[in-house]
Amino acid sequence: MQSTNNNNIKKALNERDGFHVWWRMMRPHTLTASFIPVFVGTMLAFTEGSVDWLLFLGMLIASLFIQTATNLFNEYYDFKRGLDTEESVGIGGSIVRDGIKPKTIKNLGIALYILAMLLGVYICMESNWWIMVIGLACMAVGYYYTGGPLPISSTPFGELASGLVMGSVIIGISYFIQTNMITGEVIWISLPIMILIGSINMANNIRDRDGDAKGGRKTIPVLLGREKAITLMAILFVITYVLTAVYIILGLLPLWSILTFISVVVAKDVIKNFRGKTKPLEMMPAMKATGKTNTIYGILLGLSLLISHFI
């Protein structure tokens, strides 16, 4: 019976064997939280002058490694705590459906952290060694998101932690390693990306709300209820675009940044596809749309900065 349920879940999620197993382990819909901040931070630096593209590439790969490792630790510790089963939708499924050993998942995450640290050494050599301290702190947050005696994912602070670290901090680092400085404008401009990345986390928690409640987690959707959490997400989207408009009016962002409002269409789909849904599979379109919102907004924001530099 379990094998039948396993096959049904894999079919519903369009899960395939082979390379697809390893691709799913990365949870690709979440990787926008790693490459968009690096891109935006670098484009902000580009408006100040030239960019070292090798540093950009090193930062991008290191960020992707850290994000992927965090996802792997997430899967490992959720499995160890009994939160993931064959019927769980909001996971890569590498352990419970694909049969990969838990230790393999954990060791792969550690290996990616080591590779990220090696890239961090190069980045520090080319910029400032304080980056290593901040980078290690970010990695610690990624590990303790689901690891440790009191995982961040079990508290109402998961969205804040992911948004702050992957949004504002990564944008700040990406800008600093290119310019050797940090400005108030960069911090302000990072806030919409911080909110959108936190929203990706909230989307996960909305989908997993029932399972998290049974597992004793105290996430925002568990505390507020699913519908109120969806309303909160809608409010956060509104704040994102209001901030963007204010930044354009105040001159913190160029007029070209009005292009970011194209992503409003996808943001509306997030709320629409969440409303009235109670089953995890039904909420998958909303999950994908949340990641797309951050991707489209971030790419258009970065491009608007690039365009304004030349025009």
Alpha-carbon distance of 147 to 103, in angstroms, equals 14
Nearest to 41 by CA among 172, 196, 183: 172
At residue 38, does pLDDT exceed 70? yes
pLDDT tens per residue across span 137-172: 999 999 999 888 889 999 999 999 999 999 999 999
Instruction: Let me know the angle formed at the C-alpha of 79 by 109 and 70, rounded to the nearest 5 degrees.
Output: 30
* Contact between 252 and 189 (Cβ < 8 Å): yes
- Write the Ramachandran bin of 15: left for phi over 0, alpha for psi from -120 to 50, otherwise beta: beta
What is the 8-class DSSP label of residue 148? S
Question: CA of 70: how far to CAs of 36, 55, 179, 252, 309, in Å?
Answer: 17, 22, 28, 33, 35
Q: Residue 251: what pLDDT?
A: 95
Q: Residue 30: what pLDDT?
A: 77
Total structural domains within the chain: 1
Q: Residue 2: what pLDDT?
A: 44
Crossing angle for the helix pair 184-207 and 226-250, to the nearest 10 degrees: 160
Q: Which of 50-54, 64-68, 77-81 has the lowest mean pLDDT?
A: 77-81
- Structural domain that includes position 58: 2-310
Q: Residue 231: what pLDDT?
A: 97
